[in-house]
Amino acid sequence: MHRLFEPVDIASLVYFRIAFGAIMLWEVYSYFGHGWIKRYYIDPTFYFTYYGFGWIRPWPGNGMYLHFFALGALAICIILGLWYRISASLFFLGFTYVFLLDQTNYLNHHYLVSLVSLLMIFLPAHRALSIDASRRPDIRSDTAPTWALWLLRAQISIPYFYGGLAKLNGDWLLGGEPMRTYLATRTDVPIIGPLFAEEWMVFLLSYGGLLLDLFVVPLLLWHPTRVFGFAAAVMFHLLNVLLFNIGIFPWFMIVATALFFSPGWPRLGGRWWPVTGRKQPRPANTSSLRSGQRATIVLLGSYLAIQFFLPLRHFLYPGDVNWTSEGTHFSWRMMMEFKRHEAKFLATEPVSHTTWEVNPEQYLTRRQQRKVRNQPDMILQFCHYIAGKLRQEGHGEIEVRARVMVSLHGRRPQLLIDPTINLAAQPRTLMPAPWIMPLQE
């Protein structure tokens, strides 16, 4: 355990601080440039919240624009190492707030950014090449504790490992799905696009993605294979840039994967990096740890245990997670499902025995309509919302049912939701939903 507190070169942490801030600034700019702030957080009248976070709501008026402007300013402060601890803390809170506003905007890389921004609060990445270090010579250092670098490496390893673990299923290994379906939409890519219609290409990319996710971290950890592992990761992420519209995620992972190189690699190739001569003291080789070190180990162990077990919680639910979607969030199941769907929402007034179809366009944006139709938890939330709105309009007790037909990976369409169940009366819990129909085929 003493080795966790031995000093290593701080250069990699400083590199990651600057790169992380730059990518976050790019992300914030994209939200302004593409009009996503208005589309995702101002236009909707209803938001699909995460369980336990229904109290989170967007800022009124132009507040969301100011919020993203503040995130951009905080990203610049992180790059410069200005008021670093405060900036990192506020960025974590501000970004996580945006992440929790609406499930329809869930992206694995946003979840990863939220986790990494939390870790950045506690990493001493501002002790070199920063305004803070220039203003406060007492915090300057050429080294950082080993645990800081390995914590980031562990966090970056988790999406790779669980992304590979999720691919160990029959659809991916034997059916080439959903890779086949995704590639069929990209046959217009110049030069290589026609190859995406070939079966051998479907399975080459399916198995290539599986093998990279499972083995890239071991390759990166072993010095003789590190360069090959990094090169494979870069090619994999650049292919994702070419094929899929997944935002900053490939670039973020390329930047983060470089952390597996020797801690001092950013100093190579030039004299631009100043050396302070200040080192972290090497811990004494004693049989016992100091109380602060023991607390650090407990906190690190607790955090990593959560990160290890949370992606496995879908095994607590019955059925195929790609079908039920129960436990799919926060599990690094990236590009794992493709569903075609049709949905009807039927409202019934029991007193008058009147039933009519509810048009989701009255309540949801186009993006929300696409997302809600195959996600049981969001279907339940929407049915609760419909019942509440209809009661506000003067209707009495309202029952709401959903008839949702879904085709998973080319299977014949079947019912996802039991159409006889009044979803307006069903509670929203973390327990398995008995009204989700089992996958028959």
In this structure, which long-range contacts are made by residues 243-247, counting pairs with CB atoms below 8 Å and at least 24 apart in sequence?
243/182, 243/183, 243/186, 243/189, 244/182, 244/335, 246/107, 246/109, 247/27, 247/30, 247/107, 247/109
> pLDDT band for position 290 (50/70/90)?
confident
* pLDDT at residue 105 in the model: 92
Looking at residue 270, its pLDDT comes to: 56
Residue with tokens 């501002």: 126
Mean pLDDT of 336-346: 92
pLDDT of residue 272: 56
Higher pLDDT, 345 or 373: 345
Total-model pTM: 0.93
- Contact present, 160 and 42 (Cβ < 8 Å): no
N- to C-terminal Cα separation, the chain = 50
Length of the chain: 441
The mean predicted confidence, pLDDT, of the chain is 92
Q: Nearest to residue 266, comparing CAs of 11, 21, 23?
A: 11
Q: Which amino acid makes up residue 91?
A: F
Q: How confident is the model at residue 352 (pLDDT cuts 50, 70, 90)?
A: confident
- Arithmetic mean of pLDDT, 379-384: 96
pLDDT of residue 191: 85
CA distance 127 to 140: 5
pLDDT at res. 279: 60
Average the pLDDT over each of 6-10, 286-290, 309-313, 437-441 and give the range with the smallest value: 286-290
Question: In the block, which residue shows the tokens 């942490």?
Answer: 13
List of E strands, 304-437: 339-349, 354-358, 399-408, 414-415
Contact between 346 and 403 under an 8 Å Cβ cutoff? The reply is yes
348 bridge partner residues: 355, 399
pLDDT of residue 372 exceeding 60: yes
Question: DSSP labels for 73-100?
Answer: HHHHHHHHTSSHHHHHHHHHHHHHHHHT
Is 288 a residue whose pLDDT tops 90?
no
What pLDDT was estimated at residue 48? 95
- Give residue 280's pLDDT: 58
Q: Mean per-residue pLDDT for 313-340?
A: 92
Burial 344-359 (b: 16+ CB within 10 A, else e): ebbbbeeeeeeeeebe
When mean pLDDT is compared across 179-193, 294-308, 423-437, the lowest value belongs to 179-193
Distance (Å) of CA 371 to CA 102, 187, 325, 382: 11, 25, 12, 11
Across 52-76, average pLDDT: 96
CA gap 380, 373 in Å, rounded: 10
Q: Cα separation of 18 and 273, whole Å?
A: 14
Pick from 346, 351, 347, 426: nearest CA to 396: 351
Instruction: State yes or no: pLDDT of 438 exceeds 80.
Output: yes
> 401-418 pLDDT, tens per residue?
999 999 999 899 999 999
Q: How far apart are CA 154 and CA 151, in angstroms?
A: 5
Contact present, 263 and 149 (Cβ < 8 Å): yes
Instruction: Tell me the percentage of the chain whose pLDDT exceeds 90.
Output: 83
197 Cβ neighbours under 8 A, 6+ residues apart: 183, 184, 187
Q: pLDDT by residue (tens digit) across 230-278?
A: 999 999 999 988 888 788 999 999 999 999 999 999 988 655 566 555 6
